[in-house]
């Protein structure tokens, strides 16, 4: 088994919210006891609804927020709550592609400058080499050479996302975190970007963490999938296990929520009721219990641990052995 590129061990990111005047300080557990790994060249799909902590997890890996607890091992280097990480080193290993290519590009920089800047910061000073690497990268993501001197506003959404991908890949990272990379794009453009990401993964041997709420996309691109709910991972496993044999009721609810035009009478029993609870005051026991069709007394009293149901397949549910 190849050594993991990224290992998260009991990682937690907590925020203090509220004020000491009104109601007192509370703790928001955005990410709580997450243990995960990503192997080189692997695509890990990270699924969950808004507020589940998937973006905070991404920011923690990028070093943009400091973890409260736990350890991270990135390409053999340890990063922990106590040890501040070297941003430069992290940037050479992990990069990020953002959801909104309109907001994540500097409107006053040409494509050339956007792509050359990371190289300059990381010590590539030879002009000819910079030029060459920018040109190569642009070709790789399907931009024409004459695009180099244009500004972001001159491009369509799909092309802007290509620029965002080029910027993330120019330093030849080993891991790219893609945070909803196609959800801001027109439907007819999404396939172009998904195909491009998969091609680049093979070509450059990249590992991805693919954050998405679109289960169709996640199933298509992922080797393994982790499902998050209110800061915790509730299920993880190979894509086939997650989609064909989901063991957490929340995973089943997510799958049941996808409209299927060929099968209108979906499994109504699998659907979740109500809405996501507040992360400041999550329900006791299993966080999903108020919405769960399988809820029992035990689910309120006792937090289920993430335990194995098969090879590499884990689920945090007291009823993980029930298959429906």
Partner 1 sequence: MTTPLLRVDDMRIALAGDGVTHNAVEGVSFEIGRGEAFGLVGESGCGKSITALAVMGLLRRPLSMAGGRIVLEGQEIQNASAAEMRRLRGKRIAMIFQEPMTALNPLSPVGRQIAEMFVLHEGMGWNEAMDRAEDALRQVRVPSPERRIRDYPHQLSGGMRQRVMIAIALACGPDLLVADEPTTALDVTVQAEIIDLMAELCAAKGTAILMISHDLGLVANMCRRVAVMYAGRIVEAQVSEAIFAHPTHPYTQGLVDSLPRLGERARRGRQRLREISGVVPSIAAYPGGCRFNPRCPASTGICREVAPDVTALPEGGLVRCYHHA
> Residue 281 Cβ, how far from partner 1 at the closest point, in Å?
14
| DSSP letter (8 states) at residue 290 | G
The CB density around residue 127, as the number of other CB atoms within 10 Å, is 9
Applying CB under 8 A, does 294 fall inside the site for partner 1? no
Applying CB under 8 A, the span of 7-15, 29-37, 100-108, 256-264 interacting with partner 1 comes to 256-264
Do residues 32 and 70 touch, judged by C-beta distance below 8 A? no
| Torsion 313-198-54-167 (CA) sign | positive
Which of 176, 217, 227, 316 forms a contact with partner 1 (CB under 8 A)? 217
The CA distance from 246 to 237, in Å, is 9
Taking phi first (over 0 means left), then psi (-120 to 50 degrees means alpha), and beta for anything else, what does residue 2 get?
A: beta
Query: Given the complex with partner 1, which of 132 and 156 has the nearer CB atom?
Result: 156
Burial class (CB in 10 A: 0-12, 13-18, 19+), 236: buried
Applying CB under 8 A, the span of 1-9, 60-68, 95-103, 188-196 interacting with partner 1 comes to 188-196
Strand 224-229, strand 77-80: pairing = unpaired
Stretch 226-245: interaction string toward partner 1, x if CB under 8 A: -------------xx--xx-
Applying CB under 8 A, does 192 fall inside the site for partner 1? yes
Window 142 to 161, contacts with partner 1 (CB under 8 A): 156-159
Query: Given the complex with partner 1, which of 84 and 240 has the nearer CB atom?
Result: 240
> With contacts defined by CB under 8 A, how many residues of the chain interact with partner 1?
44
Applying CB under 8 A, does 202 fall inside the site for partner 1? no
- Strands ordered across the beta sheet of 26-38: 26-38, 6-17, 69-74, 77-80
Q: Name the site residues for partner 1 (rule: CB under 8 A).
A: 49-50, 156-159, 186-192, 194-195, 198, 213, 215-217, 219-221, 239-240, 243-244, 253-262, 264, 271-273, 275-276, 291
């Amino acid at each position: 088994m190849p050594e993991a590129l990224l290992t998260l061990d009991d990682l937690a990111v907590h925020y203090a919210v509220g004020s000491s005047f009104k109601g007192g300080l509370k703790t928001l557990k955005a990410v709580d006891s997450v243990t995960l790994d990503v192997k080189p060249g692997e695509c890990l799909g990270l699924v969950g609804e808004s507020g589940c902590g998937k973006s905070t997890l991404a920011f923690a890996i990028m070093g943009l927020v400091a973890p409260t607890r736990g350890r991270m091992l990135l390409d053999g280097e340890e990063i922990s709550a106590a040890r501040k990480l070297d941003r430069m080193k992290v940037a050479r290993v992990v990069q990020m592609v953002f959801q909104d290519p309109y907001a994540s590009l500097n409107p006053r920089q040409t494509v050339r400058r956007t792509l050359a800047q990371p190289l300059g910061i990381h010590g590539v000073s030879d002009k000819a080499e910079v030029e060459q690497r920018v040109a190569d990268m642009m070709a790789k993501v399907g931009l024409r050479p004459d695009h180099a001197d244009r500004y972001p506003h001159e491009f369509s959404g799909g092309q802007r996302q290509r620029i965002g991908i080029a910027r993330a890949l120019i330093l030849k990272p080993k891991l790219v975190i893609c945070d909803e990379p196609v959800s801001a794009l027109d439907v007819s453009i999404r396939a172009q970007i998904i195909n491009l990401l998969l091609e680049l993964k093979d070509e450059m041997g990249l590992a991805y963490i693919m954050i998405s709420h679109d289960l169709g996309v996640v199933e298509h691109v992922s080797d393994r999938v982790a499902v998050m709910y209110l800061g915790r991972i509730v299920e993880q496993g190979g894509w086939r296990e997650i989609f064909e044999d989901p063991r957490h009721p929340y995973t089943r609810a997510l799958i049941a929520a996808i409209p299927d035009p060929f099968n209108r009478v979906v499994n109504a029993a699998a659907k979740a009721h109500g809405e996501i609870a507040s992360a400041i005051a999550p329900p006791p026991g299993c966080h999903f219990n108020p919405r769960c069709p399988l809820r029992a007394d035990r689910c309120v009293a006792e937090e289920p641990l993430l335990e194995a149901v098969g090879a590499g397949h884990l689920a945090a549910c007291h009823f993980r052995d029930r298959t429906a």
